[in-house]
Structure formats: C-alpha cells, structure tokens
Copies of this chain bind each other. A is one copy, B any other.
Amino acid sequence: MGDCLKLRVDLNCDLGEGYGAFKVGGDAEIMPHITSANIACGFHAGDPMTMARTIDLAKKHGTAVGAHPGYPDLLGFGRREMQLTSAEIKNYTMYQVAALQGFAEAAGLRLQHVKAHGALYNKAAEDEETSRGIVNAVQALGEGLIILAPPMSVLAKVATDAGLRCAKEFFADRAYNADGTLVSRTQPNAIIEETKKVVERVVDAVVKKTVLASNKKVVSLGRVDTICVHGDTPTAIRLVQALRTGLIKAGVEVKPLRSFI
C-alpha cells in the first residue's frame, strides 16, 4: 500500500542535440544525473553518429531513453512552427522514432518514451491535429511508448483518450502563466535563475501539484510525472543535483517513468 502513496518523479533532459561536426555540449556530464534522456533523431538536430553515441552513453549510466522528434527544420533547430497536416506529423514522427529505436534495440535497450521537441511540442500542447499526428505515430509503432505532455494540454488529452500512457511534464526553471502555459522565452523573467527557487517550485509541483504563476496566482497542475532540466549550461549539473536532493528530502523518489507510469 505504501508504494502506491509514495510520490515519484522522473528527471528528463534533451540530449544528443549536436549535428555532425556541430557539437552541443554537456551530454556526458548530465547523463549520470537524470533518469530519462530525450534523444534527438535527425530532423531538428541529431545525426546517426550522435544517436549511436548518445544511446551508448545512456546505456552506460542506465538512463532510460526516449525519442525527441522535431519539425524537419535543422536550420531553425525545430523552434519555428510549421503548418503540417496530421498525416505529415504522424509520418515524420514515425520516421524519427523508428530510426532511434533501431539504435536502441541494437544496444539492447527499448525506447521508453516520446517527447516532441520545441515548436512541435508547443504546438501539440494546444492543437488537436498536431497532437493527433504524434499520438497516431506512437499507436502505429505500438511499443507501449509513453508520451510526454504538459499537464492539462491538448496533447495530454488526445494521448489519454487514445489509451496511451502519458507523463505530465513540468519545466524546472521556466515561469508559468496563469493558464498553465509557459511564459514565452521572449519575455523577461521567462527563466527562473535562482537554484533555491527552482528547487522549491519543483518540489511544490510534484508534492502540492501546483505552481505559482507569473501573476502570483497559485495554479493547479494535477499530477506531475517528470521534470525537464537543461544539460547545456555549466550550472546544469549543480541544479540537477540540488533538485534530486530537494526532492528526496521532500519524500519524493526520483526514478525513470517506465517504473511508475
């Protein structure tokens, strides 16, 4: 009985986001500290060599692996919305997830989850057609993959309605609006800089299931299953360690999604 009352959360991070000779740092440093790695699959970033290396790195540290598919926009790092049909999103997502699955299986691993990247994630949060594309891809691949989605998002609803497992994600260092969406990066104060504050907010999100929005209102998030952290800043490791310590101290177990979703 105790176990089902126990709070658990996953720590995820976007990794393998280099491209050929373009290296994006921090993967080796952050990998041991997270429980799930979202690995780029070649559309917004990532290439076969980087994918193979990142899968090996995850295997070495026992980190769960997931696909991080994005828009076909290497030039814009998948951060620019594209007007795609549901069928295009389905097939682009299938392509990327299946390609990564090949590397995972060759290393004796299984993909745990799918987390859309950048503008595709943001669009899916509020757009049904986009969400349906992602959900249809995961259903077609049929591997029991967990979909990551913002709490109370359209994507979370479409995934759940389709009978898929869905993990609700909270962004560790991002400010939230009163409607539960993220404050845009173009706004000042979009990023919470202070480590102590980040840890408090994350613990609140997991334990109290709330976040203090930028307008000072307390917003209910519902269950939070995974915390997104960044790996590409020099302070990332320290932040993740502080998060782990804070979560454990608050009685929250930090473990990969597959063990509790």
Interface residues of A (CB under 8 A from B): 18-22, 24, 42, 45, 47-49, 51-52, 72-77, 79-84, 87-88, 91-92, 94-103, 105-106, 119, 140-142
In the bound complex, do residue A51 and residue B84 qualify as a contact, i.e. CB atoms below 8 Å apart? no
Across-interface contacts of A18 in B (CB, < 8 A): 22
Task: For the complex formed, measure the closest distance between the CB of A204 and the CB atoms of chain B, giving whole angstroms.
Answer: 32
Q: With CB as the reference atom, state the residue of chain B lying closest to A50.
A: B91
Contact of A97 among B87, B100, B102 (CB under 8 A): B102
| Sample of 15 more A-B contacts, CB < 8 Å, known A51-B91, A74-B74, A106-B140 | A18-B22, A20-B74, A20-B75, A21-B77, A22-B22, A47-B75, A73-B73, A80-B83, A81-B82, A81-B83, A94-B106, A95-B99, A98-B103, A99-B102, A105-B142
Q: Complex formed: what's the CA distance from A32 to B98 in Å?
A: 27
CB A21 to nearest CB in B, in angstroms, measures 4
Nearest CB of B to A46, in Å: 10
Question: Which B residues are in CB contact (< 8 Å) with A98?
Answer: 98-103, 105
- Min CB distance A23 to B, Å, is 8
Q: In the complex, how many angstroms separate the beta carbon of A50 from the nearest chain B beta carbon?
A: 9
Query: Contacts A19-B22, A21-B77, A76-B21 given: A48-B83 contact, CB under 8 Å?
Result: no
